Amino acid sequence: MDTPSARISTAVGCNHRCSFCQTGGDYGSTAAPVIPIKDERHGTLVVTALSLWDAGVRHFSITGGEPLTNPRVTFELSAILRMKLDQWKRESSSSGCYLRLNTNGVLVKKYIDQVAKYYDLVKVSLHSLNPEVYASITGSRTPNADLGATLEGLAFLNERGIKVRLQSVATPENVGELWRLIEFCRGFDNITDFKVFDISEYPELWRDHGNGSAFWQQNYVSLDPLEKEIQERGGMLLEIAQSVGGYGNPMPIYQLGNLRIRLRHSSRGAYYSDACKTCKAWKTCGDGHCNAEVGPNGVIKVCRPMEGITFRPGQEGEVVAFFKNVHFNPRSDLQERWKR
């Protein structure tokens, strides 16, 4: 196993309230949409990012909440990481690194210059092109304006030639629309990848979305039928990939024309630590340890649910060492739950 990637959350808040988002995951929060992160915390975040760098991490994604709701911290940190990565690439002649942005796309147009300047790939979460479904899934207060702004943002990214991965979470509301989203992606030169996630089961969900297990029971949709459809429509299996460092769920990647389609099935096993068996989430956890997740306060998680294991700033080397001791478990004990 190798060094994992890091996801750094630069925003506590989000302008959306997606139904499947968990409290504490990518730092989900009940806080108001835009919360300035205090300077000392910002300092902690930069120090944590640079300590992860010193521990060997070379793959970073900036996430939230919605990172573009906190542009100052997002772009200041991104500028530092971009400089480090570019310097390292020059000196080591290696391209094995990246800085990516995770966004719901609503504010991309507003910050297009910075977005175009800093990131190797922009991952835009878009779960539906249907305004009603978009409104229902995202909980947006202004869904028509947000969907329109996201589409404009994608057009701006296309004009600038910035590589994009569109990402969708499959729910009962949008599962019939996933093929339309695939065709949508194929209409853009710069959308190289489309990634579909099934719903993860989290013990807690954001805001008033209630019990995570009850939500999962009602809303989990297997990606198996979509995978079969991709095969029937000529999608060629390129590889079964893992996340950076060899972690995460084994993920089939299909090539369909110029588009790569990645399917994140939580049902195909994951990487766990010895400590997992004492974790409250063990009985249902399909995600395992995938990457280091840094919250705005510098606390580092090694998995997404709140019950998971956390490290403090200053323990970045221990985080990397932790990952090197995880092991794959196919979770055959959970397979019946995922059959639906």
Residues binding ligand SF4 (CB under 6 A): 272, 275-276, 279, 281-282, 285, 288-289, 303, 305, 307-309
DSSP 63: E
Q: Which is nearer to ligand SF4, 185 or 306 (CB)?
A: 306
**∠ Cα 216 235 154 (to 5°):** 70
Q: Are strands 164-169 and 191-197 parallel, antiparallel or unpaired?
A: parallel
Q: Which is nearer to ligand SF4, 212 or 235 (CB)?
A: 212
If you write DSSP's letter for every residue of 6-24 in order, what string do you get? EEEE--S--S---TTPPBT
Output the smallest distance, CB 291 to ligand SF4, in A: 12
Output the smallest distance, CB 153 to ligand SF4, in A: 33
Which residue has tokens 């997606």?
18
Distance CA 287, CA 253 (A): 18
Cβ atoms 285, 309 nearer than 8 A: no
Distance CA 313, CA 151 (A): 38
Output the smallest distance, CB 208 to ligand SF4, in A: 23
Distance (Å) of CA 288 to CA 273, 316, 331? 8, 19, 10
Q: Which is nearer to ligand SF4, 178 or 285 (CB)?
A: 285
Q: Which is nearer to ligand SF4, 119 or 272 (CB)?
A: 272
Output the smallest distance, CB 326 to ligand SF4, in A: 8
Output the smallest distance, CB 247 to ligand SF4, in A: 10
Cβ atoms 23, 292 nearer than 8 A: no
Output the smallest distance, CB 286 to ligand SF4, in A: 8
Q: Which is nearer to ligand SF4, 93 or 278 (CB)?
A: 278
Q: How many helices (H) and strands (E) does the chain have?
A: 10, 14
Q: Which is nearer to ligand SF4, 99 or 334 (CB)?
A: 334
Q: Which is nearer to ligand SF4, 173 or 204 (CB)?
A: 204
Output the smallest distance, CB 17 to ligand SF4, in A: 23
Output the smallest distance, CB 55 to ligand SF4, in A: 20
b/e sequence 93-115, b meaning 16+ C-beta within 10 Å: eeeebbbbbbbbbbbbbebbebb
Q: Which is nearer to ligand SF4, 99 or 290 (CB)?
A: 290
Contacts of 239 (CB under 8 A, 6+ apart): 252, 253
Distance CA 82, CA 197 (A): 28
Q: Which is nearer to ligand SF4, 153 or 305 (CB)?
A: 305
Output the smallest distance, CB 293 to ligand SF4, in A: 11
Contacts of 327 (CB under 8 A, 6+ apart): 271, 272, 273
Contacts of 86 (CB under 8 A, 6+ apart): none
What residue type is 208 in one-letter code? Answer: D
